[in-house]
Amino acid sequence: MTGNIDVDLDGLRQVAKALHDAVTRDVRPAAIRIVNDCEPDIVNYGPRFATPAMTSARIRHHDSLAATLANLRSYVNTSQALVAAMNQVIAAYAASDGITAEAAKKILADAAAQADGARARYEAAIRAAGYTSVPDSYMPTDGGMA
């Protein structure tokens, strides 16, 4: 196990777009119509009926309708939050990839500068020892590590 987290960003983008489009195009407008049609009338029927069975049915219907409307709101809000969270994950991965690429460029540039400095010091040491040139075959091939 490497400890890496692999994320299919293209798949995540597709899911986020599909959910966003479905909620924006279909679910949210339908939920708004249902809430607007049902909520004002949620308790406007049956109060004049005094029978216990009618009162009980009215209460159950009211509670069921209220729960349904709350679930519709929750579904729309949760779907929008899920899309936002997926987009944040996508953005975070994009940012981390950008940071990683920039960090890698800096590391490589620093390593190249250090290698150039090491070669210059090596060549200076060879010349100080009396040699007029430094053949490449004298350069360590193991990065100077024994």
Angle of the 28-38 helix axis to the 52-128 helix axis, nearest 10: 150
> What whole-number distance in Å separates Cα of residue 128 and Cα of residue 143?
22
Domain ranges of the chain: 9-138
For the stretch 96-145, pLDDT in tens is: 766 677 776 787 788 778 888 787 887 777 677 666 665 554 444 443 33
Q: Please check whether residue 58 is in contact with residue 46, taking contact to mean a CB–CB distance below 8 angstroms.
A: yes
Instruction: At 63, list the tokens.
Output: 């509670």
**What share of the chain has pLDDT > 90, as a percent?**
13
Alpha-helix residue ranges (DSSP H) falling in 26-51: 28-38
- In the predicted model, is pLDDT for residue 146 greater than 50? no
List CB contacts of 2: < 8 A, sequence separation 6 or more: none
